[in-house]
Amino acid sequence: MSEEALRQQIQNLKKHNARLKRIAHDARNKLSAALDGTGLCLWQLDIPSGKLVIFNRRWGSMLGFQPKETKAQFEVWRERLHPEDADEVLRAFYDHIEGRAPYYEALHRMLGKNDKITWVLDRGRVTEWDEEGNPLKVTGTHIDMTKEKQYEAQLSSLAHHDPLTGLTNRHALQTHFSKMKTQGPLCVAFIDLDNFKHVNDTLGHRSGDEVLIQLSQRILDQVPPNVVVGRLGGDEFVLLMPFLIDFPKVRIMMQSVLDAALTPFDVDNGHAHIGASIGVATVQPHFSFDEALTRADEAMYQIKKNGKQGFGLAG
């Protein structure tokens, strides 16, 4: 082959190589765009070196890191696993690497920049082995699940908490009641507000809602952490107290809650004045939640009947 023919062949090979690079680059861009559109990030781990190759996103971007702020290395990923999830995630990973599971999958938390928590769904599978059957490369995807987990938490909160005050709702009160009844003495307080209708009629329902929100916080401030505070709806509240009814703290708490209701409330268009009538009843072993509530309601009604703004105990 002449020198000119060799030079021409080299030139043709260079053009062909450049064309293949353009095709590969274009295919990679299309793959990146497609994956980014689904929220998936494609990764590959070289097991011997621990190097991570991220095909369509910067590694660490979902954790809030800027380019070159963190390294794409297995050790860095492992260090960023949430301490409460790390053992389970690594167990799932090595179960697959060592042949005990057909693939790797884990939904877990990672610590991002400034320890901000990000939920991630990881999936992967060994895609290359050496001649002795040892795994060399793992290819997989991860997807940011933080918004989904936040939405899930919000749904759970709505299912167990009053949307206005954030207190425990009736459904959750019943669950707490069933559990607390098996753990020791229990008494229930039924709180019905006095003159609350007057607040709604004169200051408006928005001010009435503000009173309920403020009172809820005041009640929480007056009771110990082991007392469950709930709202049934309207102006009716319930306390589940893990004490004997003649325990001195019960009377002290009821007086504090009463004082909290009697203290005027500052709202946008004035001052609201209410009171409270409170009935407390002992929970007998055979009582259902509704039966215990009825006993406390009967004790509360006696306070209403005798002039309101007080509390009464029914053993």
Tens of pLDDT, residue by residue over 265-312, are 999 888 999 999 999 999 999 999 999 999 999 999 999 888 888 999
Residue 20 above 60 pLDDT?
no
Q: CA nearest 57: which of 73, 45, 42, 74? A: 42
Contact 80, 110 (CB under 8 A): yes
Q: Which residues of 185-196 are buried (b: 16+ CB within 10 A; e: fewer)?
A: ebbbbbbbbbeb
- List the catalytic residues: 235
pTM over 0.85: no
Burial of residue 161 (number of CB atoms within 10 Å: 0-12, 13-18, 19+): middle
Give the whole-angstrom CA distance, residue 43 versus residue 139.
6
Backbone angle region of 312, left / alpha / beta, with phi > 0 → left and psi within -120 to 50 → alpha: beta
More confident residue, 151 or 216: 216
More confident residue, 220 or 28: 220
Contact 243, 150 (CB under 8 A): no
What is the distance between the alpha carbons of residues 132 and 116, in angstroms, rounded to a whole number? 42
Least confident range from 54-63, 92-101, 125-134, 245-254: namely 54-63
CA–CA dist 73, 42 (Å, integer): 15
Higher per-residue confidence, 189 vs 118? 189
Instruction: Write out the H or E segment, with its range, that includes residue 229.
Output: strand 228-233
Which residues share a beta bridge with 109? 119
Which pLDDT score is estimated for 6? 59
